Structure 1
């Protein structure tokens, strides 16, 4: 393994899910409650699988983003996918980031939910 390979394998990868909400602000109260319930499920699933950590959410602009980080974005997404697909808000998509957000050459993959 080269030094470059070490840097890539040590980089923190991410799964970022984005959902459209009912209005231009923070969504309706029931939507925020649904997201918080999903967060509990995501945290439990990720911790049980040992694939990373759920890092939280960001509401605003009529959307919510959910953030999770770990050493393997694909493994992380495979654990998260059942919960992410159950959230009813659309349009929605997930971005799998295979390295540091600070590096503009980091590969990403976008999947519609």
Structure 2
């Protein structure tokens, strides 16, 4: 699952980063507690932040993550759900 948020220009501001990091910790804890996948991090750039998470059942993963994603004060641009097992990168 990939969630994209608009931040404005460039890499965003430090207060935006702090909000994303806190939300990511909260979301990761919820995902771990529910046993539905793994939050794999984020990427800032191009005026947006992208949060990555993995699990074969993308809909279940999104349901657990949705409250935390919606709690962020940024405009949610897009969520992409990818279904099935993806090969692990090494």
TM-score, normalised to structure 1, is: 0.72
Cα shift at 1:66: 0.1
Unpaired runs of 5+ residues, structure 2, are: none
**Which among 72, 82, 96 is matched to residue 81 of structure 2?**
96
For residues 4-19 of structure 1, the aligned pairs below 5 Å read 15-19=1-5
Match of 1:94, SS state, is: strand
**C-alpha distance in structure 2 between counterparts of 1:44 and 1:87, whole Å:** 16
Change in CA separation of 1:67 and 1:48 when aligned onto 2, cut-off 3 Å? same
**C-alpha distance in structure 2 between counterparts of 1:95 and 1:48, whole Å:** 23
Unpaired runs of 5+ residues, structure 1, are: 1-14, 103-113
**C-alpha distance in structure 1 between counterparts of 2:34 and 2:81, whole Å:** 18
**C-alpha distance in structure 1 between counterparts of 2:74 and 2:86, whole Å:** 26
Cα shift at 1:91: 4.7
Moved over 6 A (4+): none
TM-score, normalised to structure 2, is: 0.89
| Bigger RCO (CA 8 Å, 6+ sep) | 2
**If you compute each CA radius of gyration, which structure gives the higher value, 1 or 2?**
1
**Which among 58, 74, 81 is matched to residue 43 of structure 2?**
58
